[in-house]
Structure 1
Amino acid sequence: MKTFGQKINELLSTRGINTVELASILGVSQSLISQWQNGSKETKKYLPKLAKFSGYPVEYWLNNEIESPNVEQISSTSENTIYVPFFKNGVVSAGFGAQNGDLGEYDLLPFNPEDLRIMFNVSPKATIGIIPCFGNSMEPTIHESDLIVFCHDGQEAIEGAIYVCRYDGELFIKRFKKRPYLSLISDNKDYALIVIQENLDIEIIGRVVGSYSINSKRF
């Protein structure tokens, strides 16, 4: 068994870099790299970057029982699995706006690439995220407590499409209306549209490509 800290030390040694250089490459603080070396597992947010730089799949960094980055166990798994950030502590409002303007830390949810294509018509290489929804302003399209799947493609907002966006320090999930003026509209007609003020910025987090719910019962 090889710990995450030991794997970090091996990476530093094999690449001939120090903790300062690794921190710069990953866009984190040097102190965080030191924490990783000492056993901290607060790593999930940075695993995609770490995997990309090292060339070792996410599974290698997640699983202490995988000691070698070249074992068949990794290659066979990684070919059929990608990890999507799940912002479990963030919420996006289908109502009057989530006071939490920050998406927060995230976990990584495993998906089969083909499932993503079938379920949401998105490429596994796209920048995808998942965040919980509260409020009912997007019903019947999106229900309260649904998990929202969004894709950040960097394209200009599409008239009528649904977006996760940040406006006036709050997070929303709404349709974009460009004419006669820029506004956010709800599918639930009980909610009035939100007109975007000229002196306030609006940030597109991602275009919503789908939603799903996880309902469970215990008896």
Structure 2
Amino acid sequence: MPRPRKQPARELSQFHLRLQELVSGSTQADFARRAGISQSGLNKILGGGDPSLATIIALAKAGRVSLEWLVAGVNKLQDTDIIEDFSFVRRYDVRASAGPGALVPLDDLDGTSRFVAFRTEWLRRIGLNARQAEVLIAVGDSMEPTIRDGDLLLIDRGIDSVVDNGIYVLVLGGMVLVKRIQTRRDGSAVLKSDNQHYDDEVIPAAELPELRVEGRVRWYGRTI
């Protein structure tokens, strides 16, 4: 029986060769950490994968070279005035529900992500550490008109308890929810929706340990 033909290796572009040059100056694990991506994700790109623009920017920043050099091979010096102005926050493929359905446990995150760029100075001004930030996608209409289906949510994961009458990402019964929380003197809590067509949900004090605060929503954005 004839052996199957071995598939030819994918020819690497000049971009991939320049990236290999950058990574060779350190370990793959260290370079991936500085770029904010997984080591397996870096390996895929080094093998010929096509990263998103945000990931290419993060790779250039991690390698301390200009974006223009990494993409086109010219002007190698890093333009720090541009790159250092921004922080790149991971956008995970997990959807937080602002209504019924689309309920995905945060524990299902596999490290696969893209990035959203925010001005570092703006993040600092609102008191948000980029290392503790994540971007999720809202699903459902229970938080309308404040948050709509498909909105991007910037989450402060450094907040794991109720600190004010803000909007929080919660996990309850294996479900991810976006709600306001009102605590009561008897130890219970009320989950509130901005959409008046949804009823409040009371969480008895005895069940409160099952409610986990995964972060506070600090910003949302949408396309028009």
TM-score normalized by the length of structure 1 = 0.67
From 68, 92, 95, the counterpart of 1:91:
95
Residues 1:51 and 1:207: Cα distance change in structure 2 (over 3 Å): farther
From 103, 110, 119, the counterpart of 1:112:
119
The code of the aligned residue for 2:197 comes to D
Contact 2:190 2:200 in 1 (8 A): yes
Residues 1:64 and 1:176: Cα distance change in structure 2 (over 3 Å): same
SS of structure 2 residue aligned to 1:64: helix
1:205 paired with 2:214, answer yes
What CA distance in whole angstroms lies between the structure 2 residues aligned with 1:112 and 1:40? Answer: 28
Which of 39-48 and 158-167 deviates more? 39-48
Counterpart in the other structure of 1:7: 19
Residues 1:47 and 1:123: Cα distance change in structure 2 (over 3 Å): farther
Residues 1:212 and 1:65: Cα distance change in structure 2 (over 3 Å): same
Shift in Å at residue 78 of structure 1?
A: 0.8
- Deviation per CA, 1:65-118: give whole Å up to 9, x if none: 2567x614x31221222222233x432211135323246633212233345567
What CA distance in whole angstroms lies between the structure 2 residues aligned with 1:24 and 1:147? Answer: 24
SS of structure 1 residue aligned to 2:94: coil
Counterpart in the other structure of 1:65: 72
Residues 1:214 and 1:124: Cα distance change in structure 2 (over 3 Å): farther
Contact 2:160 2:212 in 1 (8 A): no
What CA distance in whole angstroms lies between the structure 2 residues aligned with 1:206 and 1:163? Answer: 6
The 4+ residue runs of structure 1 with deviation greater than 6 A are: 20-27, 43-52
Which of 139-148 and 39-48 deviates more? 39-48
What CA distance in whole angstroms lies between the structure 1 residues aligned with 2:155 and 2:208? Answer: 27
From 165, 175, 179, the counterpart of 2:180:
175
Contact 2:168 2:213 in 1 (8 A): yes
Counterpart in the other structure of 2:152: 147
Contact 1:90 1:131 in 2 (8 A): yes
* RMSD of aligned residue pairs (Cα, Å): 4.1
Contact 2:88 2:130 in 1 (8 A): no
SS of structure 2 residue aligned to 1:90: strand
The code of the aligned residue for 1:7 comes to L
Contact 1:137 1:191 in 2 (8 A): yes
- Please identify the structure whose Cα radius of gyration is greater: 2
From 178, 189, 198, the counterpart of 1:191:
198
Shift in Å at residue 208 of structure 1?
A: 0.8
Contact 2:182 2:192 in 1 (8 A): yes
- Deviation per CA, 1:7-56: give whole Å up to 9, x if none: 245423x23x4x57878998956x6554343222468998899788x563
Contact 1:83 1:111 in 2 (8 A): yes
Unaligned runs of 5+ in 2: 1-12
Residues 1:142 and 1:34: Cα distance change in structure 2 (over 3 Å): closer
Q: Percent identity?
A: 23
